[in-house]
A and B are shown apart, each in its own frame.
Chain A
Amino acid sequence: MEGADTLALLMQGIHHVTPQSLVMIGVACVLFYLGIARNYEPLLLLPIAAGCLLANLPLSPLIAEDGMLRVLYQMGITNELFPLLIFIGIGALTDFGPLLENPRLVLLGAAGQFGIFLTLIAALLLGFSRPEAASIGIIGAVDGPTSIYVSGVLAPHLLGPITVAAYSYMSLVPIILPPIMKLLTTQAERRIRMPYSQRQISRRTRILFPIVVTVLVGTLVPFATPLIGMLMLGNLMKESGVVERLTQASAQEIANTVTLFLGLAIGSTMVGSEFLKASTLAILVLGIVAFAVDGIAGVLFAKLLNRLSGGKVNPLIGAAGLSAFPMAARVVQKVAHEEDFENFLLMHAMGANAAGQVASVVAGGVLLALMGAGGH
């Protein structure tokens, strides 16, 4: 008798292996592959995959009460701390100079958020609840921390699939965007040159910008205050130049540490019973629709600006309005450069891209406001 009990105790791990957990371990391996072999956002996908793997092992102590992954989740996901800390780092790395040089690019950032609202409507039609639909729509902000922040408030049970969709598609921006850009523009339009016009942006302007934006956005969209506040704090530290050590720490050490914690915690939410649902598949499909619609709206809006300006705006830069800073801007530069090696759109694209970053945050705040959630 005693021998049998001992054996049962020793074998309980194997007894608790479920088909679901095996599938999830398979999902973790796919994410490992995407991150390691395909280099898709490995900084996030690798920890997510590890969290997913560790959470789905039988009887995993890591997600038991006081288990490390659960502690991480409660430490920084339920209260939104981690995405906000990452935002300080993003702010410290973002150069708003190109946007300040060409402020009308702000319009492209707004256009690049169109996918959010279209995806939200599509998700509602598919039967998701309003908060769920809003969380899925925010994938269209094409900004990881914003997606995590919004879905963490509105639909924490969907955090896993939404984060995976947001980050995997973000790494696919160089693959998703160029066909859309080429389809919607003529060769002549892609060859429109936009010479870089260096305008002097004074240090005072660069320092005032984050403060003014924080006050403005925070007043207009209070739900966006945490996100915009942290983003602009990082930027203010960078532009002030007086707290080099804090800027460095935010952009490097803190951002790196939090990325690890964030990835592990999100991966740990991907347990079989929650993840293996038709809704996950729907989210993955809706996510890519959101990305595509953002790109389409951005390019079409830039075409409109081109008309209005008498042919001075290369419609390609519209694609940079969807955020995914700074990757989208690089894609724009690459497509334009392939068409005409003497055309350098990078600075304009960076401006639209930085505008998209701010617009994503604002859109996140607007969604939260519309859902009446998140405030205290």
Chain B
Amino acid sequence: MRRYNLRLRDREFTIDVQELSADRFAVVVDGQTYDVVLSGDEDLPDADITPALQPAGAAAGHAQPAARVAPTRGAAAPTAALATAPVAPRPRAGGGATLSAPMPGVILELFVKPGDVVQRGQQVAVLDAMKMHNVIGAPAAGTIVEVCVAAGQAVGHGDAIVRFAEA
């Protein structure tokens, strides 16, 4: 087993990767276990880190964990884990207000797209937490600038769901 400690937007993630077979990994991200299948694994000439991990470096400016994750055999596993794990947000300057997940769960449905005008309380998404469907409403009236998650995606507490410009 290999443990990675990552810092992402001021949040610490502990990621444990257990190699089950050549292409199957059990990945534990903050206590949540994911089954991860490694579908590709290659060294890229000009990147010391695979693209999906880019936000970590960009957000926290933390070079050390990135370097540790680099092109070892297991490197693709945390990449795959992060794709399903609650770490979607891309930092963006001046995006206005953010509606973030009030608790960990899975986004089931999204009712808005960029450019939509929403009213306060309007349904934005349905978050499945503890097997309960929770309607997430817009905290203020405004225009959706960016939808940060996709339906089916796992989110952690505080992860951005949408960014919007307040009216």
A: residues with CB less than 8 A from B are 95, 97-98, 195-196, 198, 200-203, 206, 241, 326, 329-330, 333, 337, 341-342, 344, 346-347, 350
Contact with A along B60-103 (1 / 0, CB 8 A): 00000000000000000000000000000000000000000011
Highest count of chain A CB atoms <10 Å: which of B30, B130, B135, B139: B130
Chain A nearest CB from B104 CB (Å) reads 7
Interchain CB contact under 8 A, A198 and B157? yes
Report A-chain residues with C-beta under 8 Å of the C-beta of B135. 337, 341
**Cα A207 to Cα B139 with chains together (Å):** 38
Does B121 contact A341, Cβ atoms closer than 8 Å? yes
Q: With the chains together, A210 CA to B158 CA distance in Å?
A: 29
Q: Contact check, B134 vs A346: say whether CB atoms are below 8 A apart.
A: yes
Contact A344 B131 (CB under 8 A): no
Query: B30 touching A200 by the CB < 8 A rule?
Result: yes
Name which residue of chain A comes closest to B18, CB basis. Answer: A241
For the complex formed, measure the closest distance between the CB of A237 and the CB atoms of chain B, giving whole angstroms.
13
> Chain B nearest CB: distance from A255 CB in Å?
16
- Closest Cβ of chain B to A9, distance in Å, is 55
Q: Across the interface, which residues of B come within 8 angstroms of A241, CB to CB?
A: 26, 28, 33
Pairwise interchain contact A346-B129, C-beta atoms closer than 8 A: yes
Report Cα–Cα, A274/B30, bound state, in Å.
Answer: 54
**What is the bound-complex CA distance between A341 and B102, given in angstroms?**
11
A95 touches B130 (CB 8 A): yes
Residues of B within 8 A of A (CB): 14, 16, 26, 28, 30-31, 33, 102-104, 121, 129-132, 134-135, 137, 139, 156-158
- In the complex, what's the smallest C-beta–C-beta distance from A192 to chain B, in angstroms? 15
Given contacts A198-B157, A329-B130, A341-B137, whether A347 and B31 have CB atoms under 8 Å apart is no
Report the minimum CB–CB distance from B43 to chain A (whole Å): 31
Establish whether residues B28 and A344, one from each chain, have CB atoms under 8 Å apart when the complex forms.
no
Distance in angstroms from B50 CB to nearest chain A CB is 26
In the complex formed, the residue of A with least CB distance to B122 is A341
How near does chain A come to B110, taking the closest CB pair, in angstroms? 17
Bound-state Cα–Cα, A200 to B28, Å: 13
Contacts of B16 in A (CB 8 A): 203
**A333 touching B156 in the complex, CB below 8 Å, given contacts A200-B31, A203-B31:** no
Q: Is the CB of A326 within 8 A of B131?
A: yes
CB of A343, distance to nearest CB on chain B (Å): 9
Chain B's nearest CB lies how many Å from the CB of A233?
A: 19
> Is the CB–CB distance between B130 and A344 below 8 Å?
no
Task: Give A251 Cβ to nearest chain B Cβ, in Å.
Answer: 13
Nearest chain A CB to B28 CB, angstrom units: 6
Residue of B26, B30, B33, B134 near A333 (CB, 8 A) is: B134
Quick check: B121 and A330 within 8 Å, CB to CB?
no
Smallest distance from the beta carbon of B92 to chain A beta carbons, Å? 23
- Complex CA gap A314/B5 in Å reads 35
- Bound CA span A344–B30, Å: 21
CB distance from B4 to the nearest CB of A (A): 15
| A344→B156 contact, CB < 8 A | no
Using Cβ atoms and an 8 Å threshold, which residues of chain A touch B103? 196, 344, 346-347
Partner of B134, one of A95, A98, A195, A344: A344
A-B residue pairs in contact (CB < 8 Å), sample of 29: A95-B130, A195-B102, A196-B102, A196-B103, A196-B157, A198-B104, A198-B157, A200-B14, A200-B30, A200-B31, A202-B31, A203-B16, A203-B28, A203-B31, A241-B26, A329-B132, A333-B134, A337-B134, A337-B135, A341-B121, A342-B102, A342-B137, A342-B139, A344-B102, A344-B103, A344-B129, A346-B132, A346-B134, A347-B129
The residue on B at minimum CB distance from A342 is: B139
Report if A201-B139 is in contact (Cβ < 8 Å); known contacts: A337-B134, A344-B102: no
Nearest CB in chain A to that of B131: its residue: A326
Complex Cα distance, B30 from A224, in Å, reads 32
Complex contact B104–A330 (CB within 8 A) = no
**Considering only CB atoms, which chain B residue lies closest to A242 in the complex?**
B26
A25 to B158, CA, bound (A): 55
- Name the B residues within 8 Å of A329 (CB-CB): 130, 132
Q: Name the residue on B nearest A343 (C-beta).
A: B102
